[in-house]
């Protein structure tokens, strides 16, 4: 699922392409994606976008008529933009907006329609789309610590919870925990003040690093290569590959249809975290430390 760095780069790319230029056409090519009926999408035609905001993991485009188009990409939704007068929009587009600069459209890989578009009136209409999570980049250490400590659970779960922190998910939580040198299974209530300080610093540093990297990669163009798996990530999606800090093989915990990646040497003092399904299967033969592997 696109997280803070990807969504910020999307928002920065949308502003110059949409703001100040009236919308000429708005089409729902797959009506199921549009989850609201009033106002209709056609109400956007002739209106001028004046604001593009990120609301947690959603993007909201606001117009001079105080309508807000809220786009939630979920896991596989992606945005695309092609410049020029009346550019060709591919058949895979679910929703498409056209203005004098070009066309913006939404796609979603796979057959499950999980990405969504809502059209709402005014700021009040945005409220149901706010999950309440703290914005890490503008939060203080005290606010961050309060948000994390309000419930006892693992750091991995707390970091990914949209009601605790905004716009962080599976990919960047792995990277943040690696930078902080903390175990994904450590409990939020067991962090001492020094560890909390380290986690906060790691969260801000990781999100800033990746926002800047993705900006550089887009190079003023529209970000067309949004993915949760990047070869220069430290641990996320890099199971068995060497940790860039200590060269130990990256480990994983598999749960549901997700996995959490970490470095045992950098994050858990060399201890391997039991992958529940696998460790039950192997019982006593499950290696307990990196040296047993």
The residue ranges that bind Zn ion (CB under 5 A) are: 243, 245-246, 263, 265-266
Strands (E), the chain: 23-28, 49-55, 58-63, 67-72, 77-83, 95-99, 102-108, 116-121, 251-255, 258-262
For residue 261, the minimal CB distance to Zn ion (Å) is 11
Dihedral of the alpha carbons of 207, 80, 124, 26, in degrees to the nearest 10 = 170
Toward Zn ion, which CB reaches closer, 139 or 263?
A: 263
For residue 276, the minimal CB distance to Zn ion (Å) is 23
For residue 71, the minimal CB distance to Zn ion (Å) is 37
Q: Which of 59, 53, 4, 56 is nearest to 173 (CA)?
A: 4
**Residue number, nearest CB to Zn ion:** 243
3-state secondary structure of 125: helix
Toward Zn ion, which CB reaches closer, 43 or 245?
A: 245
Give phi and psi for 172, each to the nearest 5: -75, -20
For residue 204, the minimal CB distance to Zn ion (Å) is 21
Toward Zn ion, which CB reaches closer, 104 or 243?
A: 243
Toward Zn ion, which CB reaches closer, 57 or 265?
A: 265
First-residue to last-residue Cα distance in the chain: 32
For residue 262, the minimal CB distance to Zn ion (Å) is 9
Q: The tokens of 221 are what?
A: 């163009």
Angle (CA) 188 206 193, round 5°: 35
- Bridge partner list, 15: none
For residue 243, the minimal CB distance to Zn ion (Å) is 3
Toward Zn ion, which CB reaches closer, 246 or 282?
A: 246
Per DSSP bridges, beta strands 67-72 and 77-83 are unpaired
Toward Zn ion, which CB reaches closer, 41 or 263?
A: 263
């Amino acid at each position: 699922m696109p997280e803070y760095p990807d969504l910020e780069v999307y928002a920065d790319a949308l502003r110059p392409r949409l703001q100040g230029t009236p919308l000429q056409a708005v089409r729902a090519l797959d009506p199921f994606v549009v989850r609201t009926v009033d106002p209709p999408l056609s109400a956007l035609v002739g209106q001028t976008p004046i604001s593009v905001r990120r609301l947690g993991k959603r993007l909201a485009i606001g117009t001079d008529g105080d309508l807000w188009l809220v786009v939630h990409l979920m896991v596989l939704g992606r945005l695309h933009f092609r410049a020029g007068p009346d550019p060709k929009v591919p058949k895979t587009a679910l929703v498409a907006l056209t203005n004098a600069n070009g066309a913006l459209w939404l796609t979603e890989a796979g057959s499950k329609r999980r990405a969504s578009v809502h059209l709402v009136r005014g700021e009040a209409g945005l409220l149901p789309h706010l999950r309440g999570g703290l914005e890490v980049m503008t939060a203080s250490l005290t606010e961050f610590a309060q948000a994390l400590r309000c419930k006892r659970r693992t750091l991995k779960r707390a970091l990914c919870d949209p009601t605790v922190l905004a716009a962080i998910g599976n990919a960047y939580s792995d990277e943040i925990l690696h930078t902080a040198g903390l175990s994904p299974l450590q409990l939020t209530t067991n962090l001492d003040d020094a560890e909390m300080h380290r986690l906060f610093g790691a969260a801000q540093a990781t999100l800033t690093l990746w926002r800047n990297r993705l900006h550089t990669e887009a190079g003023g163009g529209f970000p067309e290569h949004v993915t949760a798996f990047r070869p220069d990530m430290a641990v996320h999606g890099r199971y068995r590959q060497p940790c860039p800090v200590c060269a130990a093989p990256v480990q994983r915990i598999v749960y549901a249809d997700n996995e959490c990646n970490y470095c045992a040497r950098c994050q858990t003092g060399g201890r391997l975290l039991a992958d529940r399904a696998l460790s039950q299967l192997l019982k006593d033969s499950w290696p307990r430390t990196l040296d047993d592997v």
